[in-house]
Amino acid sequence: MLKYAKLKETPKKFLALTGLTPKEFQALLPAFYRAYERRYPPDKTLSRRRRKRKAGGGRKSSLGDIEQKLLFVLVYQKTYPLQALLGEVFEISQTRANRWVHRLLPVLQQALDDCGVMPERDSRQFAHHERQHGEPDELIIDGTERRRQRPKNPEKQALHYSGKKKTHTDKNVAIVNAKTKRVGYLSRTYAGKMHDKKIADSEDIAYPRRATLHKDTGFQGYEPRVRKTYQPKKSRAKES
C-alpha cells in the first residue's frame, strides 16, 4: 500500500505522485486537517447525527490518518487514475475509493482556499483578486490540455480531438504570476479542439491595468487592456 511515512523518504517520487514536495505537503496539512474537522466533526456521523461511541471505533480504515487522506486525494488529483487502480494502490475497494474521492475533494478545495492559493474562476474579478495579493504584476497566460475519455458521440469526438496532442482532451487557459509561480486565474473547461486565443476572448478577462502579459504564439492577436504584452518571435533559419 502507498503510505505517506514511506513515500516522504523519496522526494522525487513524492513530487511526481502528488505535485507537492514533502515540505509543501506539511505546509498544507494543517489547513486540510481544519477543513476536514469543520466538514466532518468528530462528534457526529456522516449523516450529521451525534455519535454514540467515540470516533475511530470499529474497523480501521486504510485512510485513517489525516496524512493518508491528504495523500490519497492529492494522488487522485495529480495522476487522475481509474478508481479501481486507486483502490488497489491504497488497498481499498473501488466503491470505497469512489466514496473517499467525493468525500475529500471538497475538503482539499476548502483547504487550498483557506491558504489563499485557489485561482480565481470569475474573469471579471481577476484584477481585484490580483490586487489583494500585492505581488508584481508580471503575468504569463497559456493553454493547458489534459486527456479525457474518448466520447462515444462522433460529433463530440471531433470537438474534443486535439491535433496538437493527437488524442481527445479538455482545455483550460491559466494565468500565472511570473515571479511567484502562483496560478492566479483558471478559465472554464473547453473542448480540446478550441483555440487558446478563442478561449481567452470568450472569457473576457479583466486584467490589472499595470500588468505586463507574456504569451506564446497560440495567443497571436490577443491584446487585452494591460500595460504591455510580450510574445516571442520565431527565429529565422540561417541562410546557407
Mean pLDDT of 194-221: 95
Q: Is the predicted pLDDT of residue 240 greater than 60, yes or no?
A: no
Rounded to whole angstroms, how far apart are CA atoms 77 and 71? 10
pLDDT tens-digit readout, 13-30:
999 999 999 999 999 999
32: buried, middle or exposed (CB in 10 Å: 19+, 13-18, 0-12)? buried
pLDDT tens-digit readout, 32-45:
999 999 998 887 77
CB-side neighbour CA atoms (13 Å) of 14: 20
22: buried, middle or exposed (CB in 10 Å: 19+, 13-18, 0-12)? middle
Q: Is the predicted pLDDT of residue 46 greater than 90, yes or no?
A: no
Phi, psi dihedral angles at 229 (to 5 degrees): -115, 150
Angular region, 116: left φ>0, alpha ψ -120 to 50, beta rest: left
Identify which of 82, 59, 72 has the alpha carbon closest to the alpha carbon of residue 4. Answer: 72
Sign, CA dihedral 113-115-118-119, equals positive
Q: What is the pLDDT of residue 233?
A: 78
pTM of the predicted model, to two decimals? 0.74
Dihedral (Cα; 26, 141, 79, 95), 10-degree rounding? 90
Angle between helices 83-90 and 94-114 (to 10 degrees): 90
Residue 99 to residues 1, 78, 105, 208: CA-CA distances in angstroms? 18, 18, 10, 41
- Residue 62: pLDDT band by 50, 70, 90 thresholds? confident
Rounded to whole angstroms, how far apart are CA atoms 157 and 22? 39
Rounded to whole angstroms, how far apart are CA atoms 135 and 177? 8
